Chain A
């Protein structure tokens, strides 16, 4: 045995030959070269071992002759050693390497969003029809703890630190140029502009072409400091210090050299073709007081005109950490739950480190209120906000707004094949190969993002109206609007909600 074992593919391409017209679109569209045409037999064939289950072929097949199914190939059934666990051992025995994965934690941990139910008005309090009445979804993010001051005429002076105005409490999560494509970034930027919200550069710098979207851009400063310089900070609407990421708390990032193209290298200000490594910690932040220094350094650098966000991964003691951040000068805390996506992470970390955003958010909001410092910061929840109901529940738990990453990518075409780290994204998202990048036309992409967020906004308005709430501000932290279903007392207590029927 030479070290590599054949592992039967997890998924199989099933072709309905009655429907296949051998147009070869599948062949042309698969960067993994799964499909091929045999001119002698005049037939299409598929090599399942190469398939990543991205559904590009399934979606583009004009006669819908293709589907992908889960293979029923199996080892002896073993509740302890399931197929995947065994295969992972084989892989590591073959490669000697760390297993890599992409996108969010796929393991069957509880999804608390799905265990919370939403209230509606009946009789004593009218529901409100968003088609007839204003239904406000705008929010301002930033510190609210300013004192009341009046000018000589007795008018209130605006003493508030800088705020971010969102037309709807949704923003696009940090995803770097490099981890995702130019066209994906353009789609996000244009959508953010049209929607009146923000997208986030991630730790990849900001391509010169996108400076024009600056007023809808949050720039990230992360441990590698890639692409950070004066113009970058000044162009942005806000600055985010990334301390951690939900998908991989405690570790840094690694963008392989193959993705460091000319443009990526220029934007990140690093050499072309060389791996871009973000350290696990910021090497100038080993403590909360160090973070405070960075917060104020960035504020100094930008004349106190831009809110500073501190993003942390949802870990066990995140409420205490958030309390520290709320006193650090930061304007906004972003908390990223363990189901959040990533372009690449060690599988073990993605699948086992961190806690669900629902619990982290609830405990942070509660903690900050108990300490009377909730007004010091806005809270942005991230880490698998999948729908308008997740959004609504997050706000009711106490979030000011949510970041969406995976949902945004899905709307751009991502099919969650979780192969981003391979760099051959057939949907033109997580790739830098020009022929693949062009598959994502930002003209289409940005409209789909706009439609997604608009649809969520409509649903949010509909549900708010049902609750008799006509401004999203009155939903924030309104936990009475939530009830748990099938949750233990402990879980209910952490979430700060009652059980359904109570």
Chain B
């Protein structure tokens, strides 16, 4: 059978996320409870979490999480990392042995910072430099895969049901101000750990429920800009699109949402002249980044979460607020299970971005 990257694998899923806008830390346990309610939306072939604010002590370093198939891959990777980065700290990620999670690869964490000499001679900014290094490892080092590469955030994923994955990674030991979680229902993967979600790229992480029909149009376009869609998954391409629009084109989140899930032309025609101009311009400039087909995503980034669904609302998304906390999930029950008494619950319209950020704004 073909792995992710060798073949395009559609999948259905469940997503959930939470943020405490006051910046207070939460363990990953609520996420586990939340995703467990949606057990039937996963099939045991992938689950994962992203936590933000979990590495306050190393917040200036890129936190690389890697899977290695074997020692050789690890050696090659560490050699590569050594040539490009200062490695502040490296360790195996602590896991809990449980019968539900098997066949684990080597799972390592590195806190790194680009070597200043190398960075200078590359004429790239630090993030671009780091991004390209991540791409190189993933593309060229056989058996090595960077699945998390942002600062002060981390992704934890595995083959299995997400609630088991959460226990496996001992998420009760981490504390973050925001979390997202994903349970996967792929249709034909043997289950490769790297193929589980969230998908992260630098600080951006994406969890996604859906199957986009615009995939190849989006992929062939985004690959013009140095991205390589090795996994051939929706989540990967969506993550790259947000990285491209937010980091490289410096669009706002809302603008990026208007690119990815734009209003219909007929809707735009009814908007104010100003909005018409802005949204038309975005559609004209980035028409190849329009995503069609069902999706419901949570984009995690330093300081916030954004929920966005496709413009026809072919996948459900529910958002809710309770005090400082805000919730996003595929189903309301997944929110109610962790906070039965909500201030406000609503279902955003298709294509309407819902953004929750720390009171201080994004980081």
Contacts and interface: CB of A to CB of B under 8 A. Distances in A.
Interface of A: 121, 124-126, 128, 133-134, 136, 138-140, 144, 146, 148, 155-156, 158, 160, 163, 369, 372, 374-375, 398, 467-471, 473-481
A121 B213 contact: yes
5 contacts: A134-B264, A158-B281, A469-B214, A474-B214, A480-B216
Contacts of A375: 224
Interface string B158-195: 00000000000000000000000000000100000000
Interface stretch (B67-75, B118-126, B286-294, B319-327): B286-294
A125 B312 CA distance: 12
A146 B217 contact: no
Contact of A468 (B284, B288, B293): B293
Instruction: Place the interface of chain B in its size category.
Output: 35 or more
Contacts of A121: 213, 293
B187 A156 contact: no
Nearest to A139: B287
B100 interface: no
A163 B281 CA distance: 11
Contact of A474 (B282, B291, B314): B291
A195 to B, nearest CB: 16
A473 B266 CA distance: 15
A154 to B, nearest CB: 8
Contact of A124 (B187, B216, B220, B274): B187
A144 B224 CA distance: 13
Nearest to B12: A124
Contact of A144 (B12, B187, B249, B287): B287
B292 A160 contact: no
B251 interface: yes
Given A125-B294, A148-B249, 9 more contacts: A134-B265, A136-B264, A138-B265, A369-B220, A398-B220, A469-B214, A469-B293, A475-B217, A477-B221
B221 A374 contact: yes
B224 A156 contact: no
Contact of A125 (B274, B287, B293): B293
Contact of B290 (A144, A148, A160, A473): A473
B283 to A, nearest CB: 8
Interface string B1-25: 0000000101110000000000000
B277 A158 contact: yes
A398 B288 CA distance: 11
Given A156-B255, A470-B312, A479 B216 contact: yes
Contacts of A136: 264-265
Q: List 3 A-B pairs, minimum CB-CB distance, nearest first.
A: A474-B214, A468-B213, A480-B216
Contacts of B284: 140, 144, 160, 163
B10 A124 contact: yes
A341 to B, nearest CB: 30
A148 B250 contact: yes
A124 B282 CA distance: 29
Given A124-B211, A134-B266, A372-B224, A146 B292 contact: no
Contacts of B288: 473, 476-477
B98 interface: no
B282 A156 contact: yes
Contacts of A477: 216-217, 220-221, 288
B223 interface: yes
B312 A128 contact: yes
B187 A369 contact: no
Given A467-B213, A468-B213, A476-B288, A126 B224 contact: no
B247 to A, nearest CB: 12
B139 interface: no
B216 A471 contact: no
- Which of B274, B278, B282, B314 gathers the greatest number of chain A CB atoms within 10 Å? B314
A479 B314 contact: no
Contact of A479 (B220, B286, B311): B220
B55 interface: no
A144 B288 CA distance: 10
Contact of B217 (A124, A138, A476): A476
Contact of B223 (A128, A148, A369, A398): A369
Contacts of A478: 213-217, 220
